[in-house]
Each structure stands twice: as C-alpha cells, then as structure tokens.
Structure 1
Amino acid sequence: MELPDAHLLWVEGEPGRGSVSAEALKWTPLGQRGDPVFHIVRESGCLWAAERSLFTAPSLWFRDYWIHILGKQLQPYEGKRPVQLVIIINPCGGQQRGRGVYEDSVAPLFREAGITTRVLVSQRAGQLRDWMLTADLGHCDGVVCVGGDGTFNEVMQGLIDRAQLDAGMSERDPGADLVPPSLRIGIIPAGSTDCVCYSTVGVCDPVTSALHIIIGDSQPLDVCSIHRPDSPARYAVSLLGHGFYGDVLADSSGRRWMGPRRYEYSGICVHIHMYV
C-alpha cells in the first residue's frame, strides 16, 4: 500500500516516501531512486536483530493511519505474544555462559517488550523436571530454557509428564495418547549442543530466539515416547539413537567439565574400547 503523495513520512528527521505490505515496510528518502534505505521484512532470513527508528508524521491523521496499517500486520500474532514467562537457566551448560547470555542479550529485550519474568537457576540434574511437576504454572504464558538440548529435554519431560498426570493418563501405558502441554517452551541457545534450537529457529543466536519469543512465534514439534517395562516413559523430539551414539552420550555425561569437546573425546574413547 503506497502512501498518499500529499504526505511524507519522516524517519529520524529526514522526509521520504514509504509503503506497507503484508511482507515488508519500506522507506526511501525524498528524491532518491533505487532500493529503499529503510526496509523491514517480516522474516529476513534466519538471523534477527533488534532495531529502532524514530518516525514522525505531519499530522495526527497520518500518524493514526500508520498505526492502523502496522497494527493490521501484527494481527496474526494477536493473543500469542507472552506477558509472563518463567525463565530457567542452566548455569553449567556449554561453557557455563547461560546466565551471562540471558542477562546481557535477552533480559533487556524482554524488559523493553513489557514481559514479566520469573528467573530460576537449576542446581542439579533432574531438578527442572521435578519443579515442572509441582510448580504453579497457571499464571505464566510459557517457559523459556536458557541452555542446550539437555535443558530443553528436562523441561519438556516435566511438562509432558505433568500434562499426562493432569489428564489422568498413565505415563507407563504405551498405548495411551500423549496429551500436549498447554504451555509453550522457548529456547535461548547457551549449551554444548543446540539441535532443537537449530531445527526450530534455523540459527543458534540468543537475540533471534528472544525476538521470536517476544512476537509470539511458535513451531510445533513431533514428540516420540519411549517405553520400557515397569518404567515411566521418556520422550524425544530431536533425535533418537542407540549403539555407538548412546555409548558416547553415556560416557560424555561424566565429563561435562570439558564442555562441548567432551563429545569428541568420548567418541574416541568409545571407538577405541569397541574396536581395539
């Protein structure tokens, strides 16, 4: 939708002409030809960044006109944007950078978006799942994991187990249908492996993930349940493996102090043990 010729839009004090469509907002300084200088695309690739520009208009009508047009572009996300979030930080994931990633890159964006947060820092393995089973989550719109695949997996296990219990389903029954959790899970990558983040967001970048969470973007995931006799079910979303891969994971779990390099080291050790 082109703006009326009789009106100009000022961006940071410079007049120009702009247009709004379902895909983009464009602005070009007055008298310039060629590509627009100011070009916001709804999804310009995988990597997102927070930007800010000051718009001024010559009249209240023109201001309200732009607010109306931009509001229509945000309608698909109406009711999906979170207001209250629970933030779960794994301080030991990756290179122990989870707390710094959240405080430096993510928390300022959540505050600017007006999102209320409750921050929890895990202290031990299994704590997140136990907390999900008992915590009062009725007040929040979602849970955000700051960590890697292990942190996401633990939160996911707890939320799915809780959904089954609330629905009166047995987590030991392989024939029972899984009940989807009512809460969404956000992922801020800060771990040794971030496969789930790559597969959902397309890039391993904390700011990009935070902006997806802020606007209410979501991506459904297929969940696979694994059952053993007389044992509660386990769930997988990114990958499932056995044999060499399983042995590498088992060996590396005791070497978390090595960071991501533990997978290479454990792979060599398991290979030597199996074939030498």
Structure 2
Amino acid sequence: MSTSSRSSDAANEQDAFIGLGAGAHADDALLLDTHSLTIREDSITITASSSSISDEKITLHDILWARAYISETGGAIQITHAKRLSKRLARPTTLSIPFSESDLDKADGWVERLLSRAYEGSHQAKRLKVLVNPHGGPGTAAKIYENEIEPILVAANCSVDVELTQYAKHAVKIAQELDIEAYDAIVCISGDGIPHEVFNGLGKRPDALKALRSIAVCQLPGGSGNGMCWSFTGTDAPSLAAIALVKGKRTHFDLVSVTQGDERILSFLSQSVGIVAELDLGTENLRWMGSARFTVGFLQRVAKETVYPAKVYVKLAIEKEDIRRHASTVREPPSLDAAGHVGLPPLQYGSIKDEIPEDWLAESHPKLGNFYCGNMICMSKDLHFFPAARPNDGHMDLAIVDGNVGRLKSVNVMLGAETGKHFDLPELNYRKVLAYRFIPKDQKDGYISIDGEKIAFAPFQAEIHHGLGMSLSMRANVYEGPILS
C-alpha cells in the first residue's frame, strides 16, 4: 500500500470517528501483524494474533497516555494506563505493541483518536502547580504525593511544578503571586486548609475575578478532611483521585463570602457552629489519627449537651419541601464580561456591619445544637450532608438542628442527609439559601469553623457567589456521592 493510500485511509477513519455523536458506540479497530486494537465506547480491547499472549481490556478512564514511535528496533504503540492493584491503589503500567514502520500513519491516527476518547471533555497533558502541605493530616502528605500521586501525574504527561508550603498562609502568598496563564490548575495535596488559603490568595489579587474563574483549584488527599476531593473525585484514595483529576472536566462551582468585623473571607466548603464545628476544630490534637479523629472526637463529645444560643437571619431561596424538585437545577454562572469588574464581586447583601435586609427571615435558636451551611456535597469521608447540592446551582445548603433533640440524635439527623431521609425528619430545618447572618447569644466562647479554619466566636454573615470558583470534576456540573434524582 502506498503512503498516499495509507494517509487517505487514515483520513477516512478519522472522518468516520468524528461523525460519531456523543455517547455513540464507537468501534475503531487498528489491525497490525501481531495485534488488533479496538476502541469501544468505554474501553479498548487489545487482541493478540498469537494464542500464547493474553488479550487485554482497559477502560478509557484508566488510559493515561499513548504514543506511536519508531526506534532502532522498529515501530511500537506505547499505551500507559493505570493498573488497579487493589480497591484503593493503582499504578501506571505500559504496554508496547509492535507495528511495521509502513503503518506509522495509521498508528498515529489511532493513538490520536484513543487520546481524544480517553480525555473526552477534558484537556490533555495538564499544566499543574502542585502545593504539598508536609504537615497535612497525619503528616504524610509528601510521602503520599511521591508514592501514589506523582507517578499518575507524570504518566499522564502532565507538566508538574511542585512546591512544599513552608508556613501558615504560605499558599495565600503563592496564589496571590502566581502566573495564572502558566497553569491549568493548582493542585493541593493537603487537607481543606491549603485550598482555603489558595482561594483567599486568588481573591486578594487585583484580577481576582479572572483568576478565580479561570484557573482550576483542586484537592488530592493529604489531610484528614478532604471534603473537596471527595466532592469532585468521589474518593480519598490518592492514586484513584489523581486519575480522576487528570481526566477532570472544568467545572464552575459556587464560592461564599464570609464577613466578620472588617474581614472578608472566601469559603469553598462550609461554615459551621456546634457539634460539627467541634468535631472539626476541637480535635486538632488528634490530627495524627487522620479521618479517625472525627469519630473519636464525636465519641468524646456525645455525652455533653452543650448548646449554642443564637439569632439567625436568612435570605431564603428554596424551602425544604421544594428542594427535591430543584435537585437537578443547574444555572449558568454570569459571564466575565457581564460582571463589569475585575476584583472580587461586590457584596449583594452588604457585610456584617450593614443593616439586615427587610426581606430576611429572623429566627431565634436559644438551644441551637448544630448549624451547618455548605456548598459541596460532603465535608469528609463520613459526612455526606447534602445530596441535593450542585456545583453551581447558586445556593447554599443550610441545616439547623436545635440542641433539645440531644447530641446523638443531632448527628444522626445530619447523617440522614446521605440517603435523603432528612426530608422526613422534622428535627432538621433544611433549606437552600442565598445569604444568612449568624449572631451568637449568651455565650462568651465556642467554635465557628470556615472550611475547617477557626474564626472568632462573633457574629458573621455569608452570601453565595454563583459560579465564582473553578475546579476539575469527574462529571461536568455534578458532585460525586449520593445524588438525589
């Protein structure tokens, strides 16, 4: 076969492939002397011509990279994929399939189509700024990165620039000074603290709006909470989360502004007061235990019946009984051009220092036991609170449980959210809101947690920013976890 004839065949194969619609059952075969390589809807099949060689089937999700090349020993298609060694561990491995040098054009075309399918909807060879917190969780983040995460990123042909954070708020400075045009994503190997710092560093930039909405901020497990990692990848297994990240699709998600005193803080995960805040902040001395610290902390506190008297004002969006009907709602965030500014968006409802708007609901909670407001589907591995949460629905999910139901039942009520049972629990006041103000009453001290970071036990106000943040998700516009239909 002549070269021009081969090129024509390859072009025809490419045209046929391009003509397939999304979700079509593609069946794209490359016949070689030694193997048949076939791209199917969700996998590739490698069939050997010799019965002495086992056939291979690899999911497209696990394909990390591929290339066709000619060396001194002849041509080969090299396919690098993540081989599952256990339920929580995958390692890159490479297959080499020989071909005749005369088939190079066909092999190049097949590899191009394979990568297009394997990375459908996602950028290939991502440029990553990786921040490793060596003190994250039980202090093993650097080792986790080196042993389980980095091999996946390198095998996926990512460009990786690694930096260890050296001190508290170091990531704020890094994000504030970062050349955002040089990277596709900032990847935090840490608990929830480093993403919190990154978002607030980006928010301090003069081009904050562009930075927050253009560079993806991601978390891979290196701490004890890992709420963002769970929400976007559905796992806290480092190598599996890394595969999800390199395949991740750019997804806008909502951020929250919290004002307290003269300070404005960006929140990407949650704000809490009461038992959840205690579990998060009151167990700092147990960080060495990893995620088990939350279980131990709960057992230590369940016998105590502490309450947090408060006055709460709410800008209501959707009542509890209507949330199911709105669970699949996705609204496009406003465009950059329409925003008309470059810094952080202005506060639509003012700050904690302003008068409370007249249309906000006023609520008195003299025995408040738990106050939790989030804009992701879960806080940690064992705390999947909001199955109705969507990355950019423009609402916060607010859950309040009064302390008169008891500590144990209070937590069980919150955990009922995993299956949607909380819709039938009268003890849980659950709503979607646009903003709120929390004012502690008759108590000098306690825990208030913003993304796991402690702030002063004083009044604060929060409001949603629709689609202000950017991350990488397994499925566009969907959190991973128990999703309500």
With structure 1 as the length reference, what TM-score do the two structures score? 0.74
Aligned match for 1:190, one of 222, 229, 236: 222
The corresponding residue for 1:125 is 168
Q: Distance in 2 between matches of 1:261 and 1:96?
A: 14
More helix by share: 1
Deviation at 1:2, TM superposition (A): 5.4
Q: Distance in 2 between matches of 1:185 and 1:234?
A: 13
Query: What is the aligned-residue RMSD (CA, Å)?
Result: 3.5
The corresponding residue for 2:183 is 140
- Per-residue CA deviation, residues 113-139 of structure 1 (Å, 9 max, x unaligned), is 554433222233322123322344443
- Per-residue CA deviation, residues 174-209 of structure 1 (Å, 9 max, x unaligned), is xxxx98432112332121122221221122222223
Identical-residue share of aligned pairs (%): 19
The corresponding residue for 2:39 is 20
CA contact (8 A) 1:82 1:142 kept: no
Residues 149/79 of structure 1: CA separation in 2 closer, same or farther (3 Å cut):
closer
The corresponding residue for 1:174 is none
Equivalences, count? 253
1:255-270 correspondence to structure 2 within 5 Å: 255-270=286-301
The corresponding residue for 2:102 is 60
Q: Distance in 1 between matches of 2:265 and 2:248?
A: 30
Aligned match for 1:42, one of 47, 50, 60: 60
The corresponding residue for 2:143 is 100
Q: Distance in 2 between matches of 1:9 and 1:215?
A: 32
User: What SS is found at the alignment partner of 1:181?
Assistant: helix
Deviation at 1:101, TM superposition (A): 1.3
CA contact (8 A) 2:199 2:212 kept: no
CA contact (8 A) 2:127 2:160 kept: yes
Larger Rg, first or second structure (1 or 2): 2
Q: Distance in 2 between matches of 1:243 and 1:3?
A: 59
The corresponding residue for 2:471 is none
Q: Distance in 1 between matches of 2:29 and 2:125?
A: 32
The corresponding residue for 2:284 is 253
CA contact (8 A) 2:137 2:288 kept: no
CA contact (8 A) 1:82 1:213 kept: no
Q: Distance in 2 between matches of 1:115 and 1:179?
A: 21
The corresponding residue for 2:112 is 71
Residues 233/249 of structure 1: CA separation in 2 closer, same or farther (3 Å cut):
same
The corresponding residue for 1:13 is none
Residues 2/80 of structure 1: CA separation in 2 closer, same or farther (3 Å cut):
closer
Residues 49/186 of structure 1: CA separation in 2 closer, same or farther (3 Å cut):
farther
Q: Does the alignment pair 1:8 with 2:32?
A: yes
